[in-house]
Chain A
Amino acid sequence: MSIYTLGIDIGSTASKCVILADGKDIVSKSLIAVGAGTSGPQRAIAQVLEEAGMTKEDMSYVLATGYGRNSLESVANHQMSELSCHAKGATFLFPDVHTVIDIGGQDVKILQIENGVMTNFVMNDKCAAGTGRFLDVMARVLEVKVEDLGALSAQSTKDVAISSTCTVFAESEVISQLAQETDKCDIIKGIHRSVASRVVGLAHRVGIRDLVVMTGGVAQNVGIVQALEEELGHTVHTSPLTQYNGALGAALFAYQKYLKEQKA
């Protein structure tokens, strides 16, 4: 009989769940586009169980991660930081990974990984520049959907420089560019380069080694991935499961913890 574990990643902007069988096969996954402090976590849990045709009681171990991990004490057996879970998930998806870039809703994290174990990391300071929130703000100013940013930036024909220092300053720069009737696609590419510049500056603090993997929802934006590759001079790998990476890592840790508890 299989052992099922549930990983729950409650981020600042989305709630994600993954159910694993025997620590290797994904049984089901869910994503609700609201995170900590909302109905998102409970809805994501209900959805992932429903999709798997299971109940909470079928789960041998539940592990919570992400910004809202401490709010799930009644559901989860254990909680861990999302950095450790992202390292775990990325190693599962890309066994040769040495660097993970995770751009979340309000954090940027760069993880250094050796033999599947996180050995060093760096996070952004308390500032929204370079984060998913930065892209949300810019998309709103440009009156485009955040999920369309990648495709739009691919249509750019001209370089436009946008500040990488501050979300507020960058927003006023974008408004200024719009007032000058600069093409939106060019502005979006400039925004992507701005994010990439900020993230790469941070990444150099821990060092960059292949394989470089990008996780988190922002990894779905091909414009950001391309800008990062140009800034880094390394290929940046992504997975269709990128948004679920933290929850996947949590489910993997849950499996390990379950086995350890069984032995004890």
Chain B
Amino acid sequence: MSTEVLLNEFKEVSEHPHVVLSEYKKQGKKVIGVLPYYAPVELVVAAGMVPMGIWGSNNKTISMAKEYCATFYCTIAQLALEMLLDGTMDQLDGIITPTICDTLRPMSQNFRVAMKDKLPCIFLAHPQHRKPAFGLQFTVDQYTHVKNELEKIAGTTITDEALREAIKVMNRSRAARREFVKLAGQHPDAVSAVNRSAVLRAAWFMEPVPFAEKLEALNAELKALPECKWTGKKIVTSGIICDNPKLLQIFDDNKIAIAADDVAQESRAIRVDAAETGDPMMALAQQFADQDYEVLLYDEHSNQNRRGEYVANLVKNSGAQGLVLFMQQFCDPEEMEYPYLKKALDNAGVPHIKLGVDQQMRDFGQASTAIQAFADVL
């Protein structure tokens, strides 16, 4: 299949996840909604169910969720609740609600109250100290709770063998995505910013094996392309999420390619694999412990500004000339971290711009001006 056909297929999934969900249900499959961040989707796969990511919506308006949330609340979380309340996700068989940030923690209780008799809500509290033995054990205990709840929904037992197989499947999906990110950065003439996002977004909605197979096919097509002589600019994106096609179209219109990303919904979610041998529950706990350079996770060496340095090096090593930071409105971790990130980027001589965004934005005139001017500066 050609690159264009494959990209369009991913785009179709990315734009219509509710159609995909209906299709799974027609096939008699059970589907679990997975909220950000770092939920062990391997457990869902091992239970024979389909994990579907819930990262808000670029098309919906917050209305019913206002009953539960203050105005100054992350729109990703609010729109997730909105879709649970307005029936968009009625076909789900359960949701996993991680609680890594200060917004998601109380929000998990809103989900639980709102979905009381409608949908099982599986609470997941990752530990702050994720690396020491006691932290690893805490993660295993939490994941065991998730496993038990998923088993109830699936009506089956998750065996170690099935979990090891699920780990292999997800490792394959992550590897394909990492490869794609690299290839998309090398071939921006073939993969626009809009299409790049659609592929990475589709990963949250498609079953992992068909997704990996399709993406491996796309990667093979991209690898076979001649070297791209890109005459535009290249940047790295950073932030929680950057999947609005209208916003990304501004990059394409101004010939700005995304060489790599530091986006939670994209590369931050696929940096670390889990071990395919040994105790699979501990392998998943270790995978979480090995996550690093992450604004959402505790860093015992935070005074060294390692993350800032990591992001600055990501820009340099990817051949990008600058960084565009998408700052989610009311995202405490990202806003708190920004001065440190800015310092590291300034010290490394990496130009950047910060764009305030949320999922209720419909007009991107100001962002368009800033992005176009940034291209002029680069």
Contacts and interface: CB of A to CB of B under 8 A. Distances in A.
Interface residues of B, number: 14
Contact of A126 (B351, B366, B377): B366
Given A120-B351, A126-B356, A82 B369 contact: yes
10 contacts: A81-B368, A81-B369, A81-B376, A83-B370, A119-B377, A120-B377, A122-B353, A126-B356, A126-B361, A126-B366
B155 interface: no
Contact of A83 (B351, B361, B376): B376
A125 interface: yes
Given A81-B372, A125-B356, A118 B377 contact: yes
A120 B354 CA distance: 12
Contacts of A258: none
A107 B373 CA distance: 14
The 3 closest A-B pairs by CB, nearest first: A83-B373, A81-B372, A81-B373
B278 interface: no
Nearest to A124: B366
Nearest to B371: A81
Contacts of A119: 377
Contacts, number: 42
Nearest to A123: B370
Given A67-B365, A67-B369, A83-B369, 19 more contacts: A70-B368, A81-B368, A81-B369, A81-B372, A81-B376, A82-B369, A83-B370, A84-B373, A84-B376, A107-B369, A118-B373, A120-B351, A120-B377, A121-B373, A121-B374, A122-B353, A123-B370, A126-B361, A126-B366
Interface of chain B, main secondary structure: helix
Interface of B: 351, 353, 356, 361, 365-366, 368-370, 372-374, 376-377
Interface of A: 67, 70, 80-84, 106-107, 118-123, 125-126
Nearest to B363: A126
A123 B369 contact: yes
Contacts of B374: 121
A122 B351 CA distance: 11
A44 B365 CA distance: 22
> Which of B353, B361, B366, B369: most chain A CB closer than 10 A?
B369
A126 B328 CA distance: 12
B366 A107 contact: yes
B210 to A, nearest CB: 39
A73 to B, nearest CB: 12
A82 B370 CA distance: 9
A211 to B, nearest CB: 20
Contacts of A67: 365, 369
Contacts of B365: 67
Contacts of A84: 372-373, 376
A89 to B, nearest CB: 14
Contacts of B353: 121-122
A199 to B, nearest CB: 16
B232 to A, nearest CB: 15
A125 B326 CA distance: 12
A118 B366 contact: no
Nearest to B376: A84
A118 B356 CA distance: 22
A81 B353 CA distance: 15
Nearest to A112: B377
